């Protein structure tokens, strides 16, 4: 029996891990066993527990309850805690997801203990080294033994860096998730009634990246753009607790005007809003992709993106955080006729597990 230790800590990782955990339980329970470690990076119930409940992820065997503090302090505490777990569990593989501090800590702890690392969503690059996520994903890829890429572009990025061994394009586990949960969300979510919304008659916005929230000018520009947009169409803005605090401290609630600022949403509620929005504005990598999966035009409030395929296909527009550019992009947003199948066939999780079993 091969033991896989899965390290997660943030809501995008819970979503990705759900696809793999479900496939493992359904098809590989006789050959693989999974131990889940939750670092606690997202600790709020709306950011964490509700995802485990709705996605049907097994309860974590360990919750390190590590959150807050600087990047270095958080990662250091995670590294120490994860190392203790690995020494106790002696896994055959450590499975990490994405590009958070939890990802970095899991990768480093495993590498220092000579435990093979499998990185889901390997090879992504924004080419912006000021982003903490870019540093995390580069380091994680460097120490990984199995690199599961979501796209051909990710494979090429690794090849350009001289990483060729253990690399495979399995498709995107987020696409697996979108296919599985889209109908469930439409049936179970009651968010439309709660917010008094109707199909294609609102804009969904998210903002949490440090490059925006930590820059007063960018954050003010985004708040003003959303506030102006809300004069013409309902705008729903689920806010991460940290972003909400920043908005309040900088006096930006007035700029937001009639924007409907809500608490972080459950997974199914978020999917429901993504599916039926007229337009999505975001700085989230996951939300960019989900907009593409659901056929909703997206305006990305960043200067670069890892998900270049969405831009190339015309479904996503990069505009940064300039007020005028944001408003123009929203006004000119269009729905392309085609969505190329660039993120796999919806069976990424099964392909990942098949390779783990073979090793």
Q: Catalytic residues, which ones?
A: 208
Please report which residue ranges of the chain form alpha helices under DSSP H: 11-27, 49-55, 71-89, 101-112, 132-143, 152-160, 173-188, 191-195, 210-213, 216-229, 241-249, 253-256, 267-276, 285-293, 308-312, 323-332, 348-358
Do residues 143 and 108 touch, judged by C-beta distance below 8 A?
Answer: yes
Q: Which two tokens stand for residue 216?
A: 């007063």
Cα–Cα distance for residue pair 342/253, rounded to 1 Å: 39
For the beta sheet containing 235-238, the strands, ordered from the edge strand earlier in sequence to the opposite edge, are: 260-262, 235-238, 203-205, 279-282, 298-300, 316-318
Phi then psi dihedrals of residue 3, to 5 deg? -100, 125
Provide the 8-state DSSP code for 236: E
| Number of CB atoms found within 10 A of residue 72's CB | 9
């Amino acid at each position: 029996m091969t033991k896989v230790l899965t390290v997660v800590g943030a809501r995008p990782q819970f979503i990705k891990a759900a696809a793999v955990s479900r496939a493992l339980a359904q098809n590989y329970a006789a050959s693989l066993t999974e131990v889940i470690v939750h670092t606690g990076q997202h600790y709020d119930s709306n950011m964490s527990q509700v995802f485990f409940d709705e996605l049907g992820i097994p309860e974590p065997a360990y919750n390190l309850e590590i959150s807050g503090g600087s990047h270095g302090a958080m990662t250091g505490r995670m590294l120490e805690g994860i190392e203790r777990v690995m020494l106790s569990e002696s896994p055959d593989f450590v499975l990490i997801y994405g590009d958070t501090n939890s990802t970095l800590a899991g990768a480093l702890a495993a590498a220092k203990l000579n435990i093979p690392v499998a990185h889901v969503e390997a090879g992504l690059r924004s080419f912006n080294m000021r982003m903490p996520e870019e540093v995390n994903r580069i380091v994680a890829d460097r120490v990984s033994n199995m690199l599961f890429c979501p796209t051909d572009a990710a494979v090429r990025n690794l090849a350009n860096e001289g990483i060729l061994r253990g690399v495979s394009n399995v498709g995107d586990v987020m696409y697996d998730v979108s296919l599985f949960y889209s109908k469930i969300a439409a049936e179970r979510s009651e968010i439309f009634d709660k917010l008094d919304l109707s199909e294609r008659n609102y804009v969904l916005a998210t903002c949490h990246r440090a490059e925006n929230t930590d820059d007063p000018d960018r954050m003010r520009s985004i708040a003003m753009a959303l506030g102006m947009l809300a004069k013409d169409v309902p705008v729903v803005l689920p806010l991460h607790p940290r972003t909400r605090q920043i908005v309040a401290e900088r006096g930006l609630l007035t700029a937001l005007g009639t924007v409907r600022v809500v608490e972080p949403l459950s997974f199914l509620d978020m999917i429901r809003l993504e599916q039926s929005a007229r337009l999505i504005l975001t700085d989230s990598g996951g939300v960019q992709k989900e907009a593409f999966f659901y056929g909703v035009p997206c305006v990305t409030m960043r200067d670069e993106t890892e998900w270049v395929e969405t831009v190339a296909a015309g479904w996503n527009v990069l505009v940064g955080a300039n007020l005028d550019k944001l408003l123009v992009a929203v006004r000119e947003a269009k729905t392309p006729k085609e969505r190329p199948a660039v993120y796999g066939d919806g069976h990424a999780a099964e392909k990942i597990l098949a390779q783990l079993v073979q090793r």
